A and B are shown apart, each in its own frame.
Chain A
Amino acid sequence: MPYTVVIMPEYVTPLPGMLAFALETAVNHVLQMDMESPVRVKKLEGRLLQLDLKGLGITLFFTFKHGVVRVRLQAEGTPDTVISGTPVALFSMAEPEEADWGLPESKVQINGDASLARDLERIFSKLEPDWEGPLAGMLGDVAGHQVAQGLRQGVETARETARSASKVLSDILKDRRS
């Protein structure tokens, strides 16, 4: 029987709600830059993912309907998959080459159906965002191209930063252990 998961009664600030809103907006925005994404996301319909952000004490629930990812602070039903990790560790997983889902040494733990996490990782790794098309339609060809190029560079920088941050953190932890 479905049950409602009620979480984080101790949070009195709107931070978790803002985070869920920002994450949902960002994830869907990126996904929708690729026309094929809704079809891929549709395959996840009916599944529930729980994400525990260690250190922040925030739990987010991801559901999938009509090709759209929804991020909420509560959900009905039992999660198919629970992923937990620090924000830095989770962020570094955004880089497909760095992803080590479920490996014993991974800083990201997965419980339950690991295939859901894998499916999600595949969706993001297959992304071929068309930055230029919609921007050119709104801003004109020249400005659209320039903004799109800036965005592509921004994404690459973010990935590089995530990779570096993860490595630095990992080195610090190794130094402390030794």
Chain B
Amino acid sequence: MEQTDKKPGSGDTTHFGYQDVAVEDKTGMVRGVFESVAGKYDLMNDLMSFGVHRLWKRHFIAISNIHPGQRVLDLAGGTGDIAALMCKRVGSSGSVVLSDINEAMLAVGRQRMEDQGLAGNIEYSLANAEKLPFADAEFDAVTIAFGLRNVTDQPAALREMHRVLKPGGRAMILEFSKVEFEGLKKIYDGYSFGILPRLGKLVADDEASYRYLAESIRKHPGQDELADMMVDAGFTKVTYRNLTGGVVAIHSGHHA
């Protein structure tokens, strides 16, 4: 599986779901998907996961060891679920930067944070995870939840996450992963490719975007492969834990 540093304009291709597309085209195509689903993103997530995505996200933050006073960055933060939980953890003495490459998703996130009365310790940043507009060693923790698989150059994003972390800081990735137990795998595949796109059609009138989501999950690196990529990006103490039989996994690594 290629997740390598291919350069735009070089004629290299990368994957967009199960399609091979030019490297320079992927970011725009992913943006198109998320602009299309932004308004109903949370509703679809609830339907797709039967609400379990909320438990995954809560568990993700519960084990993050983020504490009051810290400065943390949430990449591909979309509609702000993770950032909202982190705001409560860092308190008024800390700060959270909610970042996304997609303006439509960030606007939904900003609105939702304001609706929840979360302000004062939250900043917003329209940023590409591959080229972060932050100084070296600026954050105590960096998170990315259900976003890494949509990044074109994942090794570059991991290196950037490592760069902006303070020494001793921790990066955490929550992402769909590989189910290895055959019994569960069959059920999961049937659901992802049989039911999920139909749900997308029914609820958001957007079957193609939800088919892309299912395909992009299958093209994403498995548990060990992503852990190896984190080691290559410079992280130490890299480990992961599976949730729901490996449907999703939480990877973590430290800046030495």
Decide whether A and B assemble into one complex: yes
Interface string of A7-23 (1 = CB under 8 A from B): 00000001001100100
- Asked if A17 and B183 sit within 8 Å, CB to CB, the answer is yes
- Asked if A66 and B181 sit within 8 Å, CB to CB, the answer is no
Is A67 an interface position by the 8 A CB rule? yes
CB contacts (< 8 Å) of B245 on chain A: these are 21, 25
- Asked if B183 and A18 sit within 8 Å, CB to CB, the answer is yes
Minimal beta-carbon separation of B235 from chain A (angstroms) = 11
CB contacts (< 8 Å) of B180 on chain A: these are 21
- Asked if A39 and B61 sit within 8 Å, CB to CB, the answer is no
Minimal beta-carbon separation of B81 from chain A (angstroms) = 14
- Asked if A66 and B59 sit within 8 Å, CB to CB, the answer is no
Q: Most chain-A CB neighbours within 10 Å: which of B59, B61, B62, B65?
A: B62
- Asked if A137 and B61 sit within 8 Å, CB to CB, the answer is yes
Minimal beta-carbon separation of A97 from chain B (angstroms) = 29
- Asked if B240 and A66 sit within 8 Å, CB to CB, the answer is yes
- Asked if A137 and B182 sit within 8 Å, CB to CB, the answer is no
Instruction: Find residues 110-168 in chain A having any chain B CB closer than 8 Å to their own CB.
Output: 133-138
Question: How many A-B contacts at CB < 8 Å in the complex?
Answer: 53
CB contacts (< 8 Å) of B63 on chain A: these are 133-134, 137
CB contacts (< 8 Å) of B62 on chain A: these are 133-138
Residue of B nearest to A29 (CB): B241
Q: What is the interface residue range for chain B against chain A?
A: 20 to 34
Residue of B nearest to A18 (CB): B183
Q: Most chain-A CB neighbours within 10 Å: which of B61, B65, B240?
A: B240
Interface string of B229-253 (1 = CB under 8 A from A): 0000000011111100100000000
- Given that A25-B242, A137-B63 are known contacts, is A17 also in contact with B224, CB under 8 Å in the complex? no
CB contacts (< 8 Å) of B58 on chain A: these are 137-138
Instruction: Find residues 2-50 in chain A having any chain B CB closer than 8 Å to their own CB.
Output: 14, 17-18, 21, 25, 28-29, 32, 35, 38-39, 42
Is B164 an interface position by the 8 A CB rule? no
Q: What is the interface residue range for chain A against chain B?
A: 20 to 34
Instruction: Find residues 160-184 in chain B having any chain A CB closer than 8 Å to their own CB.
Output: 180-184
Instruction: Find residues 48-79 in chain A having any chain B CB closer than 8 Å to their own CB.
Output: 65-68
Is B152 an interface position by the 8 A CB rule? no
- Asked if B182 and A14 sit within 8 Å, CB to CB, the answer is yes
CB contacts (< 8 Å) of A35 on chain B: these are 65
Bound-state Cα–Cα, A32 to B242, Å: 10
Interface string of B53-79 (1 = CB under 8 A from A): 001001101110100000000000000
CB contacts (< 8 Å) of A17 on chain B: these are 181-183
- Asked if B242 and A28 sit within 8 Å, CB to CB, the answer is yes
- Asked if A38 and B239 sit within 8 Å, CB to CB, the answer is yes
CB contacts (< 8 Å) of A21 on chain B: these are 180-181, 184, 245
Bound-state Cα–Cα, A138 to B55, Å: 8
Bound-state Cα–Cα, A138 to B241, Å: 17
CB contacts (< 8 Å) of B181 on chain A: these are 17-18, 21
Minimal beta-carbon separation of B199 from chain A (angstroms) = 26
CB contacts (< 8 Å) of A18 on chain B: these are 181, 183
Residue of A nearest to B226 (CB): A66
Residue of A nearest to B60 (CB): A137
| Given A21-B245, A137-B62, 20 additional A-B pairs, CB 8 A | A25-B242, A28-B241, A29-B241, A32-B241, A35-B65, A39-B237, A65-B227, A66-B223, A66-B239, A67-B239, A68-B240, A68-B241, A134-B59, A134-B63, A135-B62, A136-B62, A137-B61, A137-B63, A138-B58, A138-B62
22 residue pairs A–B, Cβ–Cβ below 8 Å: A14-B182, A18-B181, A21-B180, A28-B241, A28-B242, A38-B237, A38-B239, A39-B237, A42-B239, A65-B224, A66-B224, A66-B240, A67-B237, A67-B238, A68-B239, A68-B240, A134-B59, A134-B62, A137-B58, A137-B59, A138-B55, A138-B58
- Which residues of B pack against A, CB within 8 Å? 55, 58-59, 61-63, 65, 180-184, 223-224, 227, 237-242, 245
List the 4 closest A-B pairs by CB distance, nearest first.
A137-B62, A67-B239, A38-B239, A21-B181
